[in-house]
Amino acid sequence: MKSIKLLLYTLCITLILLLISCTDTLIGDEGTLDEDIYLNYQTITDLELPFEEEWYAVNAGRTHSAGAHHFVSRRERYAYDMLIVQNRKSYAGDGSKNEDYYCFGKRLNSPGNGKVVAIENTVEDNQPGIVNRTQVGNYIIIDHLNGETSILAHLKKGSIIVAVGDTVIKGQEIGQAGNSGASTEPHLHYHLQETSEPLNKGLGLPAQFLNYYEDDVFVERGEPIRNQKVKKVISTAF
C-alpha cells in the first residue's frame, strides 16, 4: 500500500512539474515548444487591420525579441502594439497631453465578423507617461464564433459605440484609440486568442491579416512585425 501511495505521489509531482515546465517553455526566453505548436497556425477568421490610416508596429511578431508580450502572459504572446508615427515621433508638441499623440481618438474598426461579448468603456485615459496599472483599461472583446476571439484594448474613455450582444462585421467602426489602463501613451493593443473568456484566460494565437500594405508593399495575407508601417486596403463598405 505504501509503495502504491508513493507511486501515485511521484506521478502527481511529475505531472505538476511537467505542467510548470510546459508553461515556462510557452512564455519563457526561448519558446521552443510554443513555436513548435503554433509555427504553422493559420488564422481562421478573415481579419483586416482594425484602423484606417498608416500605423506603426511598436511590438509585433512571433519571436520574443520582436513581440515583447511573450513575457507578459500566454494569452498576449502574439499581441500587437500599434500607433501612428510621423517624422519618427508618435506625437506633436511636447507630448504631455493625449491630444498631442497622432493616434489618440482615431477610429478603430472590428477586425472581423463576430459578436461583442464584453466591453469596458468608463476608465479614464492616463496622462502620458503615467500608467494606471490597477485598471485593465477600456476594451472590446469580439467572439468570431469559430474558436477565435479578438481583443482591442486601451481605448479612449466613452468612445466605444457597440454594446455586449451586438453583432459586428469586418470594418465596422467600434471605438477610438486611447490611453487607458496599463498604457504609457496612446496606442492600440490587439491580440487574438482561442477563448472568449475574460482577459485573464485563454491562449494567444498568431493573427494573420488580409490585404494590407507593409512598408508600401502589398501583402495579401500576413503578420506585421516590429518596426513596420502597415495600412489596410480601404474598403468602401463603411
CATH number at residue 95: 2.70.70.10
* 29 and 62, same domain (yes or no): no
pLDDT per 10-residue tile (average), the chain, 238 residues = 40 33 38 59 95 95 63 74 96 97 98 97 95 84 96 97 98 98 96 80 88 96 95 72
100 and 128 housed in the same domain? yes
Does a structural domain hold residue 193?
yes
Has residue 177 been placed in a domain?
Answer: yes
Decide: 47 and 113 in contact? Cβ < 8 Å.
no
Instruction: Tell me what pLDDT residue 197 has.
Output: 73
> Do 108 and 78 share a structural domain?
yes
Q: What is the largest CA-CA distance in the chain?
A: 75
Residue position matching grid coordinates 517624422: 87
Q: Does residue 238 lie within any of the structural domains?
A: no
- Domain of 67 in residue numbering reads as 55-232
pLDDT of residue 66: 60
d(CA 180, CA 217): 32
Query: Taking the model in full, what pTM does it have?
Result: 0.82
* 48 assigned to some structural domain: no
**Is there a single domain that holds both residue 18 and residue 114?**
no
**pLDDT reported for residue 134:** 67
Per-residue model confidence (pLDDT) at position 202: 76
Beta partners for residue 191, in sequence order: 151
Q: What is the pLDDT of residue 223?
A: 94
Same domain, 79 and 32: no
Q: Which residues contact 76 (CB under 8 A, 6 or more apart)?
A: 69, 191, 204
**pLDDT for position 150:** 97
Check if the beta carbon of residue 194 is closer than 8 Å to that of residue 144: no
- Tell me what pLDDT residue 72 has: 57
User: What per-residue confidence (pLDDT) applies to 103?
Assistant: 98
How many domains does the chain fold into?
2
Residues 132 and 228 in one domain: yes
Name 48's Cβ contacts closer than 8 Å, sequence gap at least 6.
Answer: 109, 111, 112, 170, 171, 209, 210, 211, 212, 232, 235
| Domain presence at residue 34 | yes
The predicted pLDDT at position 39 comes to 63
